[in-house]
Chain A
Amino acid sequence: AQSVAQPEDQVNVAEGNPLTVKCTYSVSGNPYLFWYVQYPNRGLQFLLKYITGDNLVKGSYGFEAEFNKSQTSFHLKKPSALVSDSALYFCAVRGPLGGNTPLVFGKGTRLSVIA
């Protein structure tokens, strides 16, 4: 069965500094990887995905993520953090479509950007 680990419950970063939110995964076969963001009292919003192709994926709001197969990681990054980026971030993985596996989410990482 697939699984996702987000090793940090909380990440604090100063506004203007680069940010990284870590994610590692375990899945049989090629993974489908996703990042979502949740603002207070709202549902999750899709940020970006990796299916195949270039290991660096660009998404919404200036976020990007790097797929590293050897380290089974899919870290979320942004070159310059904004206070408005403060939210709860979820990494998710599912196995190959042929395996018909559900989407599994990590526990989430709370990002706090300090002005």
Chain B
Amino acid sequence: KAGVTQTPRYLIKTRGQQVTLSCSPISGHRSVSWYQQTPGQGLQFLFEYFSETQRNKGNFPGRFSGRQFSNSRSEMNVSTLELGDSALYLCASSLRTGYEQYFGPGTRLTVT
């Protein structure tokens, strides 16, 4: 079975721009979660979706948004990028909410 895939793997953006990251879960998995990983803050929870519904949301500003499609694929969007948004963004999928999560390789976002 193919694992979780994330595109793009690397991204360089300028402050003020917006970015969209994509995640394709493992086949059959209906729950997708997003995390931001930075050296200083560790792994911070962003969103959790199940069957196109947002189940949980972390403490991030409204510039961070996400959605899940009917095929369980998910996207997250960050508008008006700031330097502090530079991070590794990880997507994880699971069969259902609460089950163990399987992570993708991440998207490395650099904001200049």
- Measuring CB to CB, which residues of chain A are less than 8 angstroms from any residue of chain B? 32, 34, 36, 42-46, 49, 90, 94, 97, 100-108
Q: Which of B42, B45, B92 contacts A108 (CB 8 A)?
A: B42
Are B33 and A102 within 8 A (Cβ)?
yes
Are A44 and B103 within 8 A (Cβ)?
yes
**8 further contact pairs, Cβ within 8 A, besides A34-B101, A36-B103:** A44-B103, A46-B101, A46-B102, A46-B103, A90-B43, A100-B55, A100-B97, A102-B58
Q: Which of A43, A101, A102 has the most CB of B within 10 A?
A: A43
Task: Report Cα–Cα, A30/B41, bound state, in Å.
Answer: 27
Closest to A100 in B: B55
Are B98 and A94 within 8 A (Cβ)?
yes
| Chain A residues, Cβ within 8 Å of B97 | 97, 100
Are A105 and B42 within 8 A (Cβ)?
yes
Confirm or deny: B81 has a beta carbon within 8 angstroms of a beta carbon on chain A.
Answer: no
Q: Which of B45, B98, B102, B104 has the most CB of A within 10 A?
A: B98
Are A43 and B104 within 8 A (Cβ)?
yes
Are A107 and B42 within 8 A (Cβ)?
yes
Are B100 and A101 within 8 A (Cβ)?
no
Task: Report Cα–Cα, A36/B33, bound state, in Å.
Answer: 15
| Chain A residues, Cβ within 8 Å of B25 | none
| Chain A residues, Cβ within 8 Å of B106 | 43
| Chain B residues, Cβ within 8 Å of A94 | 98
Confirm or deny: B56 has a beta carbon within 8 angstroms of a beta carbon on chain A.
Answer: yes
27 chain-A/chain-B pairs, Cβ below 8 angstroms: A34-B100, A34-B101, A42-B105, A43-B4, A43-B90, A43-B103, A43-B104, A43-B105, A43-B106, A44-B90, A44-B103, A45-B103, A46-B101, A46-B102, A46-B103, A49-B100, A94-B98, A97-B98, A101-B56, A102-B33, A102-B55, A102-B56, A103-B33, A103-B45, A106-B42, A107-B42, A108-B43
| Chain B residues, Cβ within 8 Å of A42 | 105
Minimum CB–CB distance for B54 against chain A, Å: 11
Closest to A98 in B: B98
Enumerate the 7 nearest inter-chain pairs by beta-carbon distance, A residue then B residue, closest first. Answer: A43-B103, A105-B43, A102-B56, A44-B103, A97-B98, A107-B42, A43-B105
